[in-house]
């Protein structure tokens, strides 16, 4: 009886470990046409530099506030695009 229970327990653990990753519903406005999920990750340090164009000043300030409030990151404005950890820019190809 114990061996059947152990076998059932092991099988249930293995089956739950094999389930697919859930698709996350990101709350991005405006909604993107598509999101392509890839392997890998990006790690940001506690000191982050953001470069943005003038028309995205409000969005950059919202991002800075979010990263500071929710993750305790110190966010500065990068004066040059090449010095930035995060780059905010509009793609006019789709407008």
Cα dihedral: 7, 8, 9, 13 (round 10): 100
In angstroms, what CA-CA distances link 89 with 18, 43, 54? 39, 20, 9
Q: What is the pLDDT of residue 93?
A: 76
Q: What is the pLDDT of residue 50?
A: 93
| Prior bond of 30 cis (ω within 30°) | yes
pTM of the predicted protein model: 0.56
Spatial neighbors of 45 by CB under 8 A, at least 6 apart, are 85
pLDDT averaged over consecutive 10-residue blocks of the chain (95 residues)? 71 67 65 76 87 91 91 90 88 71
* Residue 23 lies in domain: 2-94
Domain count, the chain: 1
């Amino acid at each position: 009886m114990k061996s059947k229970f152990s076998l059932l327990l092991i099988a249930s653990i293995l089956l739950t470990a094999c389930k697919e990753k859930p698709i996350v519903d990101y709350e991005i406005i405006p909604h993107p046409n598509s999101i392509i999920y890839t392997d890998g990750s990006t790690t940001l340090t506690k000191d982050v530099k953001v470069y943005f164009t003038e028309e995205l000043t409000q969005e950059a300030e919202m991002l800075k506030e979010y990263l500071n409030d929710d993750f305790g990151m110190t966010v500065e404005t990068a004066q040059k695009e090449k010095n930035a950890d995060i780059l905010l820019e509009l793609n006019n190809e789709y407008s």
